[in-house]
Amino acid sequence: MSKEIINKTAHGVMVWDTEEKRSYILSNDEAAKLGKEQSKTEEPAADKAEEKPKQTKTKPAAKKEETTDGE
């Protein structure tokens, strides 16, 4: 992936080209094609990532109310 989308505007998308070390604006149509290409290449990388175990939210045990009367 040599192109990264930096900013989306109303007229197009600003893209950074890592090979050429420059940025330029693509039309929305060209950016849609680039987005589809990037999503295809990112899916296998996401599969290789290790899944982190989900933390479960546990509520602390309810404290018994203590009275000053001794009851």
Is residue 11 assigned to a domain?
yes
User: Among 64, 24, 63, 12, which residue's Cα sits nearest to residue 4?
Assistant: 24
Q: What is the pLDDT of residues 33-54, one digit of tens each?
A: 888 887 776 655 555 556 666 7
Is residue 63 assigned to a domain?
no
| Structural domains counted in the chain | 1
Is residue 68 assigned to a domain?
no
Is residue 54 assigned to a domain?
no
Is residue 67 assigned to a domain?
no
Percent above pLDDT 70 for the chain: 63
24 touches 9 (CB < 8 A): no
Q: What's the average model confidence in pLDDT over 48-70?
A: 67
User: Whole domain around residue 19: which residue ranges?
Assistant: 3-46
Q: Which one is predicted more confidently, 37 or 57?
A: 37
**pLDDT surpasses 80 at 62:** no
Is residue 51 assigned to a domain?
no
